[in-house]
Structures are given as structure tokens and as C-alpha cells.
Structure 1
Amino acid sequence: MAEFTGNPPHRRRLIPEELGLLTSEDLFYHSFGCAAIGMALVSLDGRFLMVNPMLCNLYGFTEEELVGRHYNDFSYPDDREIGLQLQKQAIQGHQRSFRVEKRYVHRNGTLIWVILGGSLVRNEEGKPLYYVTQVQDITERKLNEAIIDELHNKNQLILNAVSEGIFGIDEHLGTIFWNEAAGRLTGYTYEEMLGKNPYFILTGACGADASMSLTNSSPLYRSMMEGVYDCNSNEVFYKKNGESFPVEYMTSPIYDNGRIIGVVITFKDITERRKTEEMLRKSEKLSVVGQIAAGVAHEIRNPLTSLKGFIQFMQSAAVNKQEYYGIMMSELSRIELIITEMLMLAKPQMVRYQSKSIEMIVKSVVTLLETQAHLSNVQINLVAESNLPLVLCEENQLKQAFINLIKNAMEAMPDGGQIDILLRAEGAKHVRVVLQDRGNGIPEDVLARLGEPFYTTKEKGTGLGIMITYKIVEDHNGHLLIESKVGEGTFVTVTLPIHL
């Protein structure tokens, strides 16, 4: 192509017969004028030599107003340095082609985002002549990107303002977002979790088997595979420094056009809540110990009276009979059993889950309350299936729960009566304890509020007993159900998972 002479291109649409008569230069000028994007021939020092109608349209200026002017005259002030760098490289002959995003100012003052691309044209001797540039309007795309960025920033601000830890996992189980609270609670940064599965890391599962897959019992699995919203209030997470802390978390599936593409997990540290619950539990425990102390004292006094009589009888130089020793040892054993149960109940202990017999736990509670039951004219009838499986439990806590339930049953029968307790297996994975009294029953409005703190129908009650009982059963991954009919009595069902 010859050096540009400045003649305007032919802009008339050509018919097919005319195309064969045109030179390559004619075809270039014709394509230049009819191009669907802005085009310009620009000198090495950055002046417009020729512009097409689309470029005029884009900038809002006429051809006469553009030709001869420097393209930086129309650039957004903050982007003029980009144009100066391009011009410098062009003059030095280093820039054969370029493609940049920059901004121009329309005649009406609005901002235009464009992709500016250009190629250097040389003559036959290789001397640089000018640039052929293409200008594509991307303003709408940039506005959309700005809106998306703004929404992303707002969403991030909201996520970071929340006190709960929040993180997202994609369908490949890699982290896609991680808010500041998650980092503050765990000590891990987003960069450290990026691409990894934080659920496995925080629960310590990845240390056991790096290739382990999710099990169908995992809330994360159910959300990812089944689309359910799930919650776990009895989980432990591990910080980066190895410390553990109790958490409550919820999993929610992420949908895109009806397809699950990930899961959001929201969690919070419940250490303080656990401490408060433990304080309430201890308070209620001491209250229970105080209430049954009178009955226990009466129960201890009876064997002590027998022992005292036997000793006095032996001191009077009576004939020594061997059977007296057997009776005395039996009475001493009973005293020891009662005192041991009292101390076990009142003594602060570390929460340590062990495999225990539910039958032995309930029997020890019945032994502890038996005297109080006799004084109240209440008979406790305990029936247990043979070979009941063990449960994984904190024995002292379960005793406290069953003491609360049996005491409530006794108090429901002020004139005396019978309490039936049935222990049986429930399928292959659970043990069930069913407790029935024959009291006056509980009205529906009262039944609906059982478990609320400080809600009680007793004159000197606190309402904490049944609330703590609910919590103890829940902490053992069990279920507590109370059913009652006025005038017929109350059924209490405690279902606990067995230790497989």
C-alpha cells in the first residue's frame, strides 16, 4: 500500500460487478469506510489522519473536527499517560501492534470505555508510516462489571460485618469465599483455605484420610447431594494453632439454574453458651441434691439405727452370732451405695463420654429416689429388656436427667401412685426409656411451653430442670418426647443412640 495521501475513502456501497475493477487500496478504503466498528489512521505522533463514520459516531464529533487533532485531546485525563506511552513506542518503532483498554470523553461529556487496537503500516522500504487502529465500544460491559464489582464489595462488606463465621464450598469441595469472622475464629486466612475443603480441615477429618469422601450422615453431604438445609449444634472445630472449640453450624445449598453448585456453611463459637449451660446444670444439680437430701438422710438413719442396736447388743456381752455380721455388712453397703450416688451426682466432673449400661444408670437413679418415693407413697416399677446395648454417654449427666424426670413424675402424683419405667431396644441403633406416671396430666398450653427457661407451674420451681434435661438428651444426640392427657397421666420417652 502506498503512503497515505489524505484522500477520503470511497463510502458508497459497491455492487458485485464493480468489485473486480477495484485495486487493493480501493478495497481497503471501502472496507475502512463501511466498517461496523470505529477505525482511524493515526500518524506516528498521534494525530488522526483519517476516521470512519463509526468513530465519529462513537466520539460525537465530525470528521473535520477529528482529522488533524491528537487522539489524546479526546482521552479521559487519567488515561492520557497510556496514549503518551503508545506514541513514544510508536516513534521509536518498537510498537508493531497494541491492544489496550482506555477511556475517551464523548462530545456530550459522558465517559466512553473502548478497546483500542492498532497495527503499524510500513512502506516497501520498511519505513513506519502510520497506524491502522480499531476502536470498539465496551462501555456497557464496563458498566455491568462495575455494578457486579459494587455488588461483590457490598456482599463482602455484609459478610465481614456478620459475627458468625461464613464460608462457601464449590461442587469440588474447594473454598470459594471466607469471611473475616471465619478467619478471626479459626486463625486461617482466605489464602490458606483457597481451593481446600475447610470443613475437613476444621473438623480434623483431613488428617485421618486425605482422600476421604463425605458420608451420608454429614450435614455437608446432605446439603451438597440432596439440597437440604441442615444444622449441627454439637460439633467441634480446630483452630490453626490446634486448639478446639465447640460450634453450632448450618449448611445451605447454593443453586444456579436449579443445579446445586456448592454449599454455604455458617458457624459460631458456642464456648460461652456451653459455660452458661454448665453453670445452669450445676445449679439445678445442687437444687436436686438439696431436695432429695431429706429422703436420703431418712434412708441412712434406718440402717444406722440397726447398726447401733447390734453394737449395743454385742457390747452387753450377749452371745456372738455370726448372722449379725452379715446384716451389719448389708446395712453398711446400702449406706455406702447411697452416699456414693449422692457424691457422684453433686461432684463436679469432666465431661467424658464412655460406653455405659442404660439399665445400670436408671437403676442407680431409682435407688437414690426410692426412699423419697416411699415417703410420697409412690411405687417405682422398673422393667428392662435383656441384653440391652451400651450407650455412649456422660453417666452423671444422664443420671441428672432421669432424676429430673422421675421427680417430676412423683410430684405429679401428690396422693401417691405408680411410676412405670420401661427400657427397651428401638431398632438396631437406639435404646428407648419410657416413663409413665398416673398423675393429673399436663394441659396442652403448659405442655407446649415445657423446656422454656424459668417457665414453671410449681410454687418453688425455677423451670430450669426440664430445660436442662432437654439439653442433656440433645447433647447425647438423643430425643426427648413428652406426651400427656389431662386426667390420665404423662408419658415421657427418651431415645438415645447406642454405641456401635
Structure 2
Amino acid sequence: MEKSKPPSITISRTNWTSHVLLGISVCLLALACMSVIQKSSSLAGLWLPTALMIPVLFRHRYRDWLPLLCASALGIAAAHSVLGTPFLRYLPYLLNNLFEAAFCAALLRRLLPEQDPLTGLGYWVRFLMVAVIFCPLVSSLIMMLFILHIQSPVELQSRFATWFMSEAVAILALTPLGLVYQRGYFRKNLTSGRFFGLLLTLIITLAAGFLALKWLPYTFAFITIPLLWCAIRLPRIEAFIIFLCMTLMIALLHTSGIVSVQPHTVVQIPQGLIFLPLLLILTPANAMAMAMHALRAEKSHITQSENRFRNAMEYSAIGMALVSPQGRLLQVNKSLCNLLGYEAEYLTTLTFQEITYQEDLGKDLAMLEQLLNDEIQTYTMEKRYLCRNGEVIWALLAVSLVRDEEHNPLYFISQIEDINELKHTEMTNKRLSEALHEEKELMHITLNSINEAVISTDRNMNITFMNPVAEKMTGWTEEQAQGQPVNRIVLISKGQDGPLIDNLLHFDINENLHSSVERSLVLHGHHTGLFDVQLAVSPLRTLKDEPIGIVLVLQDVSRSRELMRRLSYSASHDLLTGLSNRGSFESSLKKALNLIATARQSHCLAFIDLDHFKAINDTAGHAAGDELLRQISTLMQEHMRNSDRLARLGGDEFALILFDCPVEQGLNTLSKLVSEINQFEFIWEDKIYRIGASAGLTKMNDPTVSGSEYMAQADKACYTAKNNGRGRVFRYEPQQKTATVHTEGSIFPPEKT
């Protein structure tokens, strides 16, 4: 998988210019290499195109590889075309080169870091095993498969060695330079003086190599000396440049016949392995260059660390000192001198024991002893120091110990931070905190003693405090409620079945002062039932008037509200039957008149008078009469709609409003009520009593007619029914101002509006 973070010089988008340059470079290298091979066909030439493609692919994303490989293929094909090589003859070798470059680059991306692939000797060894040995071997084996059927075993062996050596030496000479090179390196690092030094070193090294090749025995052994000298003396990338130049010079000199690289041995080395010694001398030279690079990097890191520590100590805002194991101040910074009022030269003549307040010295020495015994790695303590002017100041001391390679103590690093003002502020805050604690305890005792529930929240409306009364009413303990949203713990609705108040912060206490009992505030406790409450909300604010929470005060008014409900019920209901009384019925009558005017509804108003009630009341007693009234009230309610309103006006007289009801339907309903009453059998003390009812009905459809007028019309119709045989229903006729009888199945004239 391609790594998510590309290197700094990775091309982020397709750059066709780089593709063209790669194709041209590969073409020129291939042309040069093939020219050398054609001039000396028995010589293992250097094949540089593959060595160039590997670092280029390594530094590009996988999705850019295809155009890069195509550019390289075109470059190699162009070189073959210039030399007149048939297409089918070089095609297998071309494909093998492309495969080797891609395969090697993919493996190196897995094994090497992207930013600096050869950052250490270990990574260089990975490169050597993969790029110089493994991939050329695989490529050589693939090449053998192409020519297996046309070459003899001896020739196959020679071709295998030739291919492997040409790839391995070229990769070791060129690829490391491509991997470590960074764009702008020469412009940034090679000043005129450095460039002249590199050029001089290159000339000396190549001259020494030429002399060794021309006149010295054991040629490659002597060539190793200037290469190692370059590896030790030069930076890594410049050493790789010289290694490449030395390799190219040896190949060109041997190809031109000026020198021979055949070692002076009894056994003649096969032509295919003629550059094996060159591979062997390049390997230690590269390894030495990598080792020196790691050494320089470590030395640079140490130098940077020392400079950082020196600057951090010298320019630190807090006092710092290096102290010997015996307590002598070895080095101090300006901040410590300013803190204590001493000059640096004078301080270095003292010990830390001499400037430490005597009462704090014992603890300091004890901690120091633990540090020396390796029982602790560092310690921090607050201690007092003696200033030059005699003042005693507080400081925060942090001490660590530096040891040498044999674990012997070298010196202590002491950091002394001025906390004098902080300590004085801390003492003042401690006194204030004690006073605040006393006030807080007094407040808690007061809040726990009152009978109201008190709940406070933070700026996020999460509960911070609840007194015992609040715990009892809400059903939550303070521990359970702390940190919870107040709307989750305190559930208050407008009326028992009304909507919950979702934002207590914006609750207006005046909103519910004149609400009815049914719309008053109700607290829904957690498994503790319902509480009628009076709520007060007070916001908490800072001195800058910024909100920091609220305080809720809940007063349980359940008893007073229950008493109000009873009084309200008594004022609007008949205590004997539970029906509405005359006052409540008149309110319902006003509501009906309002609906006539606003919604254009028509209603029916009826009066019902019980027949023979007085006889039963006188015969069986008032208790029987009361029970009869209750049963008759229940009977009538069972045959009414929920929207209708039945009231007892007094004695045995009842009134009924049938809301939004046509006269026909009203007369039928009233007739059924009268019929049910006429058929009702009242049993009292094992005796059966029968009773009847007379009823009168009037239509309500004119908003200009008053309620008392409609009542008079219904009363007149009922009076007519009672005087015409009882047990009947009469309807009031507005035009004739008389009442007409209604019987089941009778035909009524059309309603007149």
C-alpha cells in the first residue's frame, strides 16, 4: 500500500516535463551503454537506464508510474532504433528492464523511509540486499528464460553473469545518488569554495585510480584507498558522485583498451565477472560513506543539543544552575542572579547550602541523597532562599541529576522559579477560603433548614446543589442529580396534564399568578407523586453581569391548592348530585350564546321537571328523595353526550344544554330521557316507587336573545308539558309564543330560523 504521507520532493501531480526529461535521459544512457557493449561484446558493460529509473519511480506516487515507465520504454526503444536493433530482438530485454525497475522501486518503498531513504547504515544494507543483489538476480533469471532455447549452457552461464554484473554495478554506482539527492542541494550547499574543493578531490581521486589501473599490481585494492578517503572526508552525496565518476572512468578506460581491469592472478576471471572486483570495492566505500554520514548526523545532533541547552539555560525566564555533587554552584544564569541579587562570579564561589533558608535545608538534602542513590530520578519542592539584601523569598525548585557513562554523578541541573508573590497570594487566598467556607457552611445549614425546595445550576443549566426538601419532592438525591440537566430532574407542567416548562431560565413568575387552579404549576416527582408548587426563578450573575446559572425555589402548595379546588368545586357543583349548579350552568349558557355569535352554531335548551317527586319525598322521607335525585342524575348522564351540560337548578328541576344540536335531534334526545325517567323504578326499603318527568325545549340560534329569555322559553315549554298530562316533551314555538307537544313518530313542521 502506498504510504499516506508523500516525501517532500514527491511530485503531487503529473508533470509531463519530467516525463520527457526522463525519456531523454534514459535514451542517452541506453545509447551510451549499448555503444560500449557493441564495441566490446565480450565485456560486461554497465546498464545505467535501470539504475536511473529506480530512484525516479521511488520518488513518485504509484499512479504516476505508468507514464514514467512509458517514457523510459520510449527512450530505450529510441536508442535501439538509432543503433538499428530489430524490435522483436530487444523487446524482451526492454520489458525485463521495466519490470526490474518497477519491482525494485516497489520493494524499496516498503523497506526504506520516504524522506531520507538511506538515513542510516541499516537502511543501506536493506538497499544493498534488495536493489544490488536480489532484483538483478531475479532480472537475470527472467532474461535466461528468454534465451534458454537458443543458447548453450556455457553461453547461458556467461550471459547470466554479464547481465547480473552490469545491473548490480550500475545500481550500486548510480541509484544511491538518486535516492539521497534533494532538489536544490548543489545550489544551497555548494558555494564557490566548496565546489572547487569537490572538483579538486574528484580530480585527485580519478588520477589515483588511473595510476593504480595503469601501473600498480592488485589494482582494485589500491583504488579502494582513495574511495575510502573520499567517503571519510566528504558528505554522503558528494562521495556518491565520486564513486559514480570512478565507476564510469574504469568502464570507459577498459572499453577503450587503455587499461585492463583483469586482475593479476593465475586463474583468469570470466569476462562476465570482470567487474566483480569493482562491485566489491564500491560496497565498502558506500558503507563507509553511510557510516560517516551517521557519525556526522550524531555529532550535529549533539552539538545542536548542547547549543539548545546552553541557550535555554542562559536566556531562560526562570533561574537555572549547574551544581556539583558536593553542592558547589558551577554555572548560573542571569535570571538566578537577578532573583537572588548576586553577581554570577560571586555565586559560583558559594554552595547551595549557604543560600538556602535553614528550615528548608534538611528536606532539600534528604531529597538530594535519594537522587544520588538513584532512588528517584528527579524531585520538586518549594523552598526559601536567602537574598543578598537579607530578604527571604519563596521559590519552586526542580532538580535532576546528570551521570557519566559509568553512572557516576557529574552535576545537578537545578531550576529555580520565583513563586514569592504566588505564596503570599496563596496565604491570602487561604484565609479568604476559610472565610468563604464558613459562609458556605452557614448557607448550607440555612438552606437545609427551610421548608422550600432550593435547587441551583451552573451556566450550562446542570444541577450543582439540592437541599433535602428538593430531594424529597423531586425523588432524586443530590448526588444523583449533580451534573444532570435541570429539565431532566425538575419536571414542572402547567396543570396536571398540561405541557412541561422546557426553559426554566426564561420562566416568568407573573405569568401564573392569576391562573386557574387547573392551570397552576405541578411538579412531577420521580416516584414521589405530584406536587402543586409555587415557583421562583432567580438568575445568578457575575460582577460583569454574565450569567452563571439559576436558583430555583419551589414551595409545596398542594394543601392550599386542594382546598381551593374543593371550594371551586363546591361553588360550581350541586353537592347532592355532583351536577353543575345554577351559577355554573349560567356560565355554560353564556358560552353557548358566544358560540352562536362566533361559530354560528345552534343549540337546544331544555328544562326537565320530575313528576310525583314531592309525594315520594313526603312518603319515604328526605333521605329517599336525596337518593332518588342522585340516581336520576346518573341515569340522565348515561344518555347524554359528553359535550352536553346538565345542571340541577334546585329541588327536582333540571336544565340541559345540547351544544351544536338540531331541534329534531334535541327533541329525540329529550324524549328518550323522559321515557327513561318514566320507566325508572326506584326501590327504597323494599318498596318500589315510580316517577315521571315533564320537559320543555327551545331552540337557541339567535345571538340577540338573552340567556334569561331562552331560560324563560324552556321553562314555559316545560310548564305547558306539566299542565298537559305530564310525562311529555313540549317544544317552544317562538312565532306563536306557545309550546307544542312532541311525541314519538310525530311530524314536525320545518324549523324556522
TM-score by length of 2: 0.29
Between Structure 1 and Structure 2, which shows a larger proportion of strand residues? 1
TM-score by length of 1: 0.40
By relative contact order (CA 8 Å, sep 6+), the higher-ranking structure is 1
Between Structure 1 and Structure 2, which shows a larger proportion of helix residues? 2
